[in-house]
């Protein structure tokens, strides 16, 4: 077949990437807004239509379920054939599919259950309590993070050298207890999906050969975000008979804190050689000035795979830089600019406010409310993570598989039915002693309990059994609807006085809708209900399931990855905030913070504003702030400085194309003024940044060069004005 339609509308580098010889490994360095998703999809289209590859010959890895679904939809339209059996999805979903296909070889039962983060937290907490590990000295979340981090690096408890580190020794102890627990209860956590899949292939050569020969082409999106075990998973699948096609951008590697290894994309040229590197540098998103500033910033990073973005769309407006007196003025300015944009006909959802820390959202929310502008916090609690949905899915899971101990513990007394902790402990003890699941243990001990406890537990057993019988032959949506009614969840949340808006009940109704819309893939190793359970558990979109229409978008820069907006406000560009104080201890962290700033800037399509405040309230203290180093790294030729022309401290009007000047405000009855450099006998040189009170009781806030910020009483401080 002629490839002309496939490459139609692609630039030369995109065409080269799509039509590259299928006997070649490839690294596609795809800059922000360069059309990488289209290239990836069209590559698969080319392999199937021009090279006569079957969709079953191809493995495509994405980083979100949303991206996987979009790819499936595009491919289905392009290929005009069913692609239900094609191996396309996230690392976790593909690993899950592999384990479901070969559970026995992976030392699992066919009915193994997946642990989500909340379930994992509860198990770790319980194990720490039962084994005398003080959660006051060792935080549960810290232990949970330790377990997952080591799994991401492919390390089991026996692989970790604790040395003389007592805290680390305790963490390894809990990790070992945890691994024994999940194994005994036929559970697999998120990180464990990859570990077990890798071990499955590594320890079973015939199975490894099967998949190496099955997948002629392995395509991986967002390769810069892979962690150690994900990299090893791709590496073990690769042999001399198949080829990898990796798409990524080291300049957008921003997840080092959760295990991503930027060096993975840099190792490709050695581990998968020979490999062809193609750079996608033409940007279809942003203006020339935004790209010029972003290129200049990211060029400060060392050891990067060099590329420089460009566009044919023109220079556009300069990037606005606003220096606010404090965070409230910053918020007032940003929101007033959005109000102006809205009055001029722009939709609110075209405007985004990006910040380094979630805590920064509050003042912007307050200002948006004052201006009566609708807004939405992006990346809020995902649909399947909401408590009422997890409760409902707990019933679905237990009815589908009564051996699901995690689901049992969640719903056994919810809604409340008089089954107390004492009864649950007896069930657990019997389960442990007799090596059986909690539901069967309940049946075994129900007759031995006091009358009241026995009646309550018997009622629960009967409820599960009757729901199982009544829903056996129903469609998935009918089954979910029946379960919601018979379990009592609908009536419980209908009477929930804390849910005044009825959102929880609406979410349960939406669950029925979700089950109606669920499309079970042809040839799936699981039945329809199991597939829906897997969807709910593996959902990792990281996005709110609500529409963005007519709402200003507020989010962290991390959450903004992969998104774009016509108008972007990147706020809080101050030292110790962006770059973060927690991330400045070593050069590699500064590089990642710079990449994060780069990602934030390249979300903007037409208009970009960078803002910072001279002082900011953080953790109950007023801090005198310095401009972020990232602002200083952007050439002034790309910038348009905004000056506050009002004499007051609140937003009244701003004039563009002038330099920002800071007025020093003198205290009312003192020789000291804000901005004065003073010398203290103990703390040395410092600058007065704030004051409170008057007369002999006046307190001065001074930012000392070596001692940091201090509050001193002026009459006792014996300060010398320098």
For the annotated catalytic residues, the residue numbers are 36-37, 221-222, 252, 603
Coil, strand, or helix at residue 262? coil
Q: How far is Cα 397 from Cα 395, in angstroms, rounded to an integer?
A: 5
Q: DSSP per residue over 388-446, as a string?
A: HHHHHHHHHHHHH-TT-HHHHHHHTTSS--S--HHHHHHHHHHHHHHT--HHHHHHHHG
The Cα–Cα gap between 351 and 601 comes to: 13
Of 162, 171, 94, 90, nearest to 128 by C-alpha is 171
Which residue in this structure is represented by tokens 């290929």? 79
Cα–Cα separations (whole angstroms), residue 12 to 64, 201, 606, 629: 28, 39, 25, 37
For the chain, helix, strand, coil in percent to 5 are: 50, 15, 35
User: For the chain, what is the radius of gyration of the CA atoms?
Assistant: 29
CB 93 within 8 Å of CB 538: yes
Helix (H) or strand (E) holding 690: strand 684-692
Tokens linked to 540: 């990792």
The whole-angstrom separation of Cα 395 and Cα 460 is 11
User: What DSSP character marks residue 360?
Assistant: G
For residue 613, the tally of other CB atoms under 10 A from its CB is 26
The single residue listed with the structure tokens 């910040």 is 355
In the structure encoding, which two tokens stand for residue 79, read together?
């290929």
Closest listed residue to residue 247, CA positions, set 93, 21, 63, 75: 63
Q: Kind of pairing, strands 58-62 and 217-220?
A: parallel
Residue with tokens 């408590």: 387
Query: How many other CB atoms sit within 10 Å of the CB of residue 284?
Result: 14
N-terminal to C-terminal alpha carbon distance within the chain: 80
Structure tokens given for 472:
């056996």
* Beta strand 351-355 pairing with 565-570: parallel
Give the strand order in the sheet containing 375-377: 375-377, 552-556, 351-355, 565-570, 604-613, 319-324, 639-644, 654-656
Q: Find how far residue 375's CA is from the centre of its chain.
A: 20
DSSP secondary structure string for all residues of 653-672: -EEESS---PPPPBPTTSS-
Q: How far is residue 713's CA from residue 698's CA, in Å, rounded to a whole number?
A: 6
Burial pattern 362-401, b for ≥16 Cβ within 10 A else e, equals ebbbebbeeeebebbbbbeeebbebebbbbbbbbbbbbbb
Burial of 467 (0-12, 13-18, 19+ CB in 10 A): buried
Backbone angles phi, psi at 319, to 5 degrees: -80, 125
DSSP 28: E
Of 571, 577, 557, nearest to 623 (Cα)? 577
């Amino acid at each position: 077949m002629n490839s002309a339609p496939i490459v139609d509308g692609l630039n030369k580098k995109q065409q080269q990437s799509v039509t590259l010889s299928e006997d070649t490994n490839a690294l596609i360095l795809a800059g922000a807004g360069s059309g990488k998703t289209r290239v990836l999809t069209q590559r698969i289209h080319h392999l199937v239509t021009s090279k006569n590859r079957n969709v079953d010959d191809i493995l495509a890895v994405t980083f979100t379920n949303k991206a996987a679904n979009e790819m499936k939809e595009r491919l289905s339209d392009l290929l005009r054939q069913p692609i239900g059996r094609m191996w396309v999805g996230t690392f976790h979903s593909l690993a899950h599919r592999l384990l479901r296909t070969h559970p026995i070889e992976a030392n699992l039962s066919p009915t193994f259950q997946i642990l989500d983060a909340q379930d994992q937290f509860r198990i770790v907490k319980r194990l720490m309590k039962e084994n005398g590990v003080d959660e006051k000295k060792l935080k549960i979340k810290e232990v949970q993070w330790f377990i997952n981090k080591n799994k991401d690096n492919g390390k089991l408890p026996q692989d970790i050298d604790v040395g003389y580190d007592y805290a680390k020794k305790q963490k390894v102890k809990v990790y070992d207890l945890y691994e024994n627990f999940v194994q005994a209860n036929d559970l697999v956590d998120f990180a464990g999906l990859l570990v077990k899949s890798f071990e499955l292939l590594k320890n079973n050569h015939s199975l490894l050969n099967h998949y190496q020969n099955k997948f002629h082409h392995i395509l991986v999106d967002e390769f810069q975000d892979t962690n150690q075990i994900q990299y090893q998973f791709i590496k073990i699948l690769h042999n001399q008979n198949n080829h990898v096609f990796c798409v990524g951008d080291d300049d957008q590697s921003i997840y080092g804190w959760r295990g991503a290894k930027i060096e993975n994309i840099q190792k490709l040229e050695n581990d998968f050689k020979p490999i062809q590197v193609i750079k996608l540098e033409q940007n279809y998103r942003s203006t020339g000035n935004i790209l010029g500033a972003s290129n200049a910033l990211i060029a400060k990073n060392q050891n990067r795979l060099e590329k420089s973005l460009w566009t044919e769309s023109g220079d556009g407006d300069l990037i606005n830089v606003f220096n606010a007196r404090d965070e409230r003025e910053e918020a007032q300015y940003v929101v007033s600019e959005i109000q102006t944009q809205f009055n001029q006909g722009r939709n609110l959802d075209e405007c985004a406010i990006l910040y380094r820390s979630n805590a920064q959202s509050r003042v912007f929310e307050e200002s948006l409310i004052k201006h009566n502008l609708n807004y939405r916090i992006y990346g809020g609690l995902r649909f399947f993570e909401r408590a009422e949905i997890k409760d409902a899915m707990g019933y679905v899971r237990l009815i589908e598989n009564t051996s699901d101990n995690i689901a049992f513990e969640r719903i056994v007394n919810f809604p409340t039915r008089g089954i107390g902790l004492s009864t649950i402990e007896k069930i657990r003890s019997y389960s442990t002693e007799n090596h059986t699941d909690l539901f069967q243990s309940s049946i075994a001990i129900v007759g031995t309990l006091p009358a009241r406890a026995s009646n309550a537990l018997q009622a629960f057993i009967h409820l599960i059994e009757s729901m199982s019988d009544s829903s056996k032959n129903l469609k998935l949506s009918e089954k979910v609807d029946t379960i919601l009614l018979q379990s009592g969840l609908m009536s419980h949340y209908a009477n929930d006085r804390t849910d005044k808006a009825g959102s929880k009940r609406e979410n349960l109704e939406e669950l029925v809708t979700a089950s109606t819309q669920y499309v079970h893939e042809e040839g799936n190793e699981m039945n329809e209900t199991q597939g829906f359970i897997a969807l709910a558990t593996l959902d990792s979109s990281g996005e709110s399931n609500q529409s963005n229409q007519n709402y200003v978008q507020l989010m962290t820069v991390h959450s903004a990855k992969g998104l774009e907006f016509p108008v972007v406000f990147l706020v809080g560009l101050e030292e110790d905030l962006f770059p973060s104080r927690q991330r400045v201890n070593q050069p590699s962290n500064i590089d990642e913070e710079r990449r994060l700033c780069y990602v934030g800037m390249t979300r903007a399509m037409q208009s970009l504003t960078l803002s910072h405040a001279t002082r900011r309230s953080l953790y109950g203290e007023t801090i005198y702030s310095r401009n972020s180093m990232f602002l200083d790294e952007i050439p002034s030729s790309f910038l348009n400085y905004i000056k506050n022309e009002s004499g007051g401290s609140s937003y009244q009007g701003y004039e563009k194309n002038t330099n920002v000047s800071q007025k020093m405000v003198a205290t009312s009855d003192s020789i000291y003024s804000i901005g004065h450099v003073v010398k203290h006998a103990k703390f040395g040189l410092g600058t007065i940044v704030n004051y409170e009170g008057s007369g002999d009781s006046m307190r001065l806030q001074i930012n000392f060069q070596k001692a940091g910020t201090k509050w001193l009483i002026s009459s006792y401080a014996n300060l010398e004005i320098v």
